[in-house]
Amino acid sequence: MAEKYRVAIIGCGARGAGRTGAARAHEHWRAYAATGRCRLAALADIRRENAEGFAAEHGDPASPPAVYEDYAVMLREVRPDLVSVCTWPSLHAPMVIAAAEAGARGIHCEKPLSTTWGEARRMVEAAQRARTALIFTHQRRFEPQFRAARRLLRAGAIGRLLRMEGTCANMFDWGTHWFDMFHFYNDEQPARWVMAQIDTREVRQVFGAPVEGQGLSLVHFANDVQGLLITGEGRPFPEVNRLVGTRGVIEVQMPGEDDKWIPVRLRGAGDGDWRVPEIAAEDRSGPAGSVAAATEDLLGCLERGGEPELSAARALRATELIFATYESARRGGRIDLPLQADDASLTAVVEARGGAGA
Ligand SMILES: NC(=O)c1ccc[n+]([C@@H]2O[C@H](COP(=O)([O-])OP(=O)(O)OC[C@H]3O[C@@H](n4cnc5c(N)ncnc54)[C@H](O)[C@@H]3O)[C@@H](O)[C@H]2O)c1
């Protein structure tokens, strides 16, 4: 198939370095390459060696990508068709806005969107103004165990959905996935209010952004389903989702460190114990994995129209729940949506309490 898209990546990373050694840019490029219609045109990284290492590993020697240290210069000179933003969250908004204004047709930005609610909204608005298709890496929507859980839920395996539960390390870096999955399971119903509490005695930095020591967030959706997110490092559960219905429970897990991983289990009416349902062919999104499936979906929307599964509009709804959680903790009460406070952030909670450790 003809190469249709010139791709640029901002924030190349270096495997084994960075906060987790993940270097998400590699995953983004693997996904573009899997489509068979993308060419690596340019790379930008303030650490030139990271961009050069990336070019050596993934570039076409016959047509190597141009390497830049300044992403703004890269965007101006290359005018790429597609841009991936794989830097840390506080840099996402200016980079996405610049890429949209430079005429990119599609942008794939890593999660979480940004460190304040106002910035998240501004970046999504900039993409809308420029008619750029913007997606964020909430790739769980393409992972088989989550899709299996939603298929079982829709088939009535646990009756009517009453409550969704999630457990994870924090509201921001991990919570963005679970707040997104609440919308995924609950047929994209809008949230009406959030009531939450955050403990700020031990604020830590994750990818350069502050996260709480512990938190609780109760979300009420328009169809009266509720979502409960429980965060903190010391909790007794790993990263789990639970769907509680009128006639049973579905539980979804992330892969653990041992071989006892049960991706989905179900306890419905009449089940004496948990049972492990099959992951169906329709739950699987393809051999190249979830980020590749999301990238193919983005290109399909550029070519044929439609809303990408990982659309900015959906990502913004999940992000609103993160910042409404912080705002609820700052004000000490329920926050009705839409969230009005542009400055809502964990930093604002800490400041309202008189500083870190309070
Ligand atoms: N979707 C997921 O499941 C998932 C998993 C892990 C991380 N993430 C997210 O991915 C993002 C990136 O994480 P990572 O581990 O790949 O980071 P990383 O540290 O490996 O890479 C970031 C790169 O950005 C570069 N950079 C910094 N400032 C820059 C600037 N001004 N201009 C250009 N380049 C700049 C750094 O030099 C580095 O090479 C984070 O937002 C993180 O939350 C997502």
Domain boundaries, the chain: 5-139+289-310, 144-283
| Cβ of residue 99 lying under 6 Å from some atom of ligand 1 | no
Atom nearest to 25 CA in ligand 1: 16
Q: How far apart (Å, rounded) are the C-alpha atoms in residues 153 and 166?
A: 16
* Residue tagged 């590993």 (tokens): 57
* CATH for 5-139+289-310 (3.40.1640.10, 3.30.360.10, 3.40.50.720, 3.40.50.2000): 3.40.50.720
pLDDT of residue 3: 66
> For strand 161-168 and strand 240-245, is the pairing parallel, antiparallel, or unpaired?
antiparallel
5-139+289-310 matches 144-283 in fold: no
| Cβ of residue 50 lying under 6 Å from some atom of ligand 1 | yes
- pLDDT band of 17, cuts 50, 70, 90: low
φ and ψ of 242, to 5 deg: -125, 130
Of 12, 45, 52, 87, the residue with max ligand 1 atoms within 8 A of its CB, to mutate for a pocket test, comes to: 87
pLDDT of residue 171: 98
pLDDT at 1 over 60: no
Q: Per-residue pLDDT tens for 196-245?
A: 999 999 999 999 999 999 999 999 999 999 999 999 987 777 889 999 99
> For strand 191-199 and strand 335-336, is the pairing parallel, antiparallel, or unpaired?
antiparallel
> For strand 66-68 and strand 38-44, is the pairing parallel, antiparallel, or unpaired?
parallel
Cα angle 120, 135, 209 (rounded to 5 degrees) comes to: 40
Q: Per-residue pLDDT tens for 134-185?
A: 999 999 999 999 999 999 999 999 999 999 999 999 999 999 999 999 999 9
Q: How far apart (Å, rounded) are the C-alpha atoms in residues 82 and 105?
A: 6
Q: Per-residue pLDDT tens for 62-74?
A: 999 999 999 999 9
- Above pLDDT 70, what percent of the chain? 97
Q: How far apart (Å, rounded) are the C-alpha atoms in residues 32 and 7?
A: 8
CA of residue 205 to ligand 1 center, whole Å: 14
Q: Whose alpha carbon is nearest atom 37 of ligand 1?
A: 47
Q: What is the Cα 347 distance to its own chain's centre?
A: 21
Q: Per-residue pLDDT tens for 242-296?
A: 999 999 999 999 887 667 889 999 999 899 999 999 999 999 998 889 999 999 9
| Cβ of residue 55 lying under 6 Å from some atom of ligand 1 | no
CATH 3.30.360.10 fits 144-283, yes or no: yes
